[in-house]
């Protein structure tokens, strides 16, 4: 019994002369270590709006909402239910669209302050107006696929800004186009309408 008591006394004396192990936060700002994983943040320029982060989030705290009227996709993250697991960052297709930063002082009385979001333009089918994907995501795929992207007319047409072929698609008041037959091949179509267009071109209506 004597030995442990002496050891504790030695530790107590040593602690009197050593630096404190705790920080003085919140009195003094805490500086996180470089590997610290704090609040996830969207990086607008590197996010292409694919929504993969929402698919892999185990807490289901990332939401994707498409607005057909404005042709915009809103991706929202609620920090108040985030687990800081880093799954979103690990599975981001650009690897830089969402990253866990070093923000740690997240306590708030207002829940809306714990919301962070990013808006991205979407491309819709010119025939049935269903959402094909985010414009940035389509451009990302075209770049990745290289010449292979020419096998998919929608990918190429939707990314042809310089030819202004996608302009009608961005006009929410534009009437739905006839996608049947050969003319439909040169429209921005969802996979279902593209298949119908190909079949009607081959076999008629």
Under rule CB under 6 A, residue 62 binds ligand SF4:
yes
In terms of DSSP H, where are the helices of 18-112? 52-56, 87-91
122 vs 190 by CB, closer to ligand SF4: 122
Shortest distance (Å) from residue 199 CB to ligand SF4: 33
Spatial separation of the C-alpha atoms in residues 58 and 72, rounded to whole Å: 25
Spatial separation of the C-alpha atoms in residues 97 and 120, rounded to whole Å: 12
Under rule CB under 6 A, residue 83 binds ligand SF4:
yes
Stretch that binds ligand SF4, among 20-28, 87-95, 125-133, 159-167 (CB under 6 A): 87-95
Under rule CB under 6 A, residue 124 binds ligand SF4:
no
Spatial separation of the C-alpha atoms in residues 188 and 58, rounded to whole Å: 34
Under rule CB under 6 A, residue 87 binds ligand SF4:
yes
CB contact set of 178 (below 8 Å; sequence gap of 6+):
127, 184
Under rule CB under 6 A, residue 52 binds ligand SF4:
yes
**Cβ atoms of 117 and 53 closer than 8 Å:** no
Under rule CB under 6 A, residue 125 binds ligand SF4:
no
Under rule CB under 6 A, residue 133 binds ligand SF4:
no
Shortest distance (Å) from residue 3 CB to ligand SF4: 47
Determine which residue in the list 88, 138, 141, 157 makes contact with ligand SF4, applying CB under 6 A.
Answer: 88
173: number of Cβ within 10 Å: 5
Q: What is the torsion angle, in degrees rounded to the nearest 10, for the CA atoms of residue 162, residue 164, residue 166 and residue 168? A: 160
Binding site for ligand SF4 (CB under 6 A): 40, 42, 47-53, 57-59, 61-62, 75, 77, 82-88, 92-94, 97-98
């Amino acid at each position: 019994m004597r030995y442990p008591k002496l050891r504790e006394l030695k530790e107590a004396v040593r602690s009197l002369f050593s630096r404190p192990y705790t920080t003085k936060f919140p009195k003094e700002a805490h500086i996180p270590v470089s590997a610290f994983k704090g609040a996830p943040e969207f990086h607008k320029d590197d996010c292409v709006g694919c929504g993969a982060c929402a698919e892999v989030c185990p807490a289901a705290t990332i939401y994707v909402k498409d607005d057909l009227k404005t042709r915009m996709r809103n991706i929202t993250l609620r920090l108040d239910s985030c687990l800081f697991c880093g799954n979103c960052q690990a599975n981001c297709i650009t690897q830089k669209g969402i990253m866990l930063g070093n923000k740690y002082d997240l306590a708030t009385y207002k829940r809306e302050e714990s919301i962070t979001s990013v808006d991205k333009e979407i491309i819709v089918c010119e025939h049935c107006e269903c959402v094909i994907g985010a414009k940035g995501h389509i451009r990302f795929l075209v770049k990745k696929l290289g010449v292979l992207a020419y096998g998919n007319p929608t990918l190429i047409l939707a990314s042809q800004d310089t030819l202004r072929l996608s302009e009608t698609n961005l006009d929410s008041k534009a009437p739905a186009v006839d996608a049947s037959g050969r003319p439909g091949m040169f429209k921005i179509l969802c996979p279902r309408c593209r298949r119908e267009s190909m079949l009607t071109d081959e076999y008629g209506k």
